[in-house]
Amino acid sequence: MSDRGFDYPGGDIVLDGRPHGQPFLKPLYGPPPYQYTNDTVLIVVYEAPEAAIREVLPRELEPLPGNSVALCFFLCPDVTGIGPHNFTMPCIPVRYGDYVAQYVPYLYTSTDASLACYREGQGWPAVFGQTELVQSNDKVSARVTRNGQEVIRATAEVGGELITTLDFLPLILYREFASVDGKEAEAAYLLTSTSLFTDLKFHGGRATLDFPNHGDDPIARLSPLKITAAVYGTMDDRYPETIRVLKRLK
């Protein structure tokens, strides 16, 4: 008999405090950083109601003047450590004291590996959803479906001069570790991170955007008052280039 009251030699996996990834024998995703190659991206920038923006922001964050939202649709065919997937997220420019960044309140992603990696790794607010991007000449159609419903729909007409640089603010994410009983957070942080974007090939244009069959999905609260810009193209992305704790909440 062992000191645990039964004869058993123990398992082969040594839990030594290092991250192993789960399931142990075939982890869903590898360690960062992750290299995204030849992403196809549509970004629609618009003004949303201030009350709707404040509703999805932690109180530590102040929306910037203009109440902008950048809704980003991504097709990612080649990603190290995670694998091919697609995702869509709204990015809201905010201020934390003197620090200017963008906060992501929702993210729809298409695979179990990307869902687990985004949620466990950095605290991305990820749920399952499928992003589609279809280009026909200078016209682009985008949509996001979740649970069989079309949650987001966008169209864009793009063209003109090639855009090889874009200003991307750092990200702010909220990450928490809930207690086993779910009654409190054992640890919680606001994190900030940056990406290294390379080989950008975009064109600007105009767009439409709506949330046709959102059900009770809260993304529709960020409905557009006025669409101000759209860009469409391809790029590479290494994420995270940097990452640090902005504020320890617990």
pLDDT score of 52: 95
CA–CA separation, 69 and 44 (whole Å): 8
CA–CA separation, 107 and 114 (whole Å): 11
Mean pLDDT of the region 39-57: 97
Q: Is 215 exposed, middle or buried (0-12, 13-18, 19+ CB in 10 A)?
A: exposed
Q: Please give the share of the chain, as a percent, with pLDDT higher than 70.
A: 97
DSSP label of 177: E
Kindly report, residue by residue over 168-213, the tens digit of the pLDDT. 999 999 999 989 998 998 999 999 999 999 999 999 999 999 999 8
Q: Evaluate if residue 94 carries a pLDDT over 90.
A: yes
Q: Evaluate if residue 5 carries a pLDDT over 80.
A: no
Q: Is residue 6 part of a domain?
A: no
CB distance 250 to 60 below 8 Å: no
CA–CA separation, 163 and 158 (whole Å): 11
DSSP label of 118: I
CB distance 205 to 157 below 8 Å: yes
Tell me the average pLDDT of the chain.
94
Q: Is residue 227 part of a domain?
A: yes
Number of folded domains that form the chain:
1
Q: Is residue 146 part of a domain?
A: yes
pTM assigned to the model: 0.93
Q: Please give the share of the chain, as a percent, with pLDDT higher than 90.
A: 82
Q: Is residue 111 part of a domain?
A: yes
- Confidence bin at 3 (pLDDT 50/70/90): low
Residue 234's closest CA among 40, 85, 73, 84?
Answer: 40
Q: Is residue 87 part of a domain?
A: yes
CATH number at residue 89: 2.40.400.10
Q: Is residue 88 part of a domain?
A: yes
pLDDT score of 71: 98
Q: How far apart are the first and last CA of the chain?
A: 42
Domain containing residue 121: 34-166+195-243
Kindly report, residue by residue over 211-243, the tens digit of the pLDDT. 998 778 888 899 999 999 999 999 999 999 999
Length of the chain counted residue by residue:
250
CA–CA separation, 119 and 107 (whole Å): 10
Q: Evaluate if residue 142 carries a pLDDT over 90.
A: yes
pLDDT score of 6: 64
- Confidence bin at 19 (pLDDT 50/70/90): confident
Kindly report, residue by residue over 114-130, the tens digit of the pLDDT. 999 999 888 999 999 99
Q: Is residue 178 part of a domain?
A: no
- Confidence bin at 69 (pLDDT 50/70/90): very high
Q: Is residue 175 part of a domain?
A: no
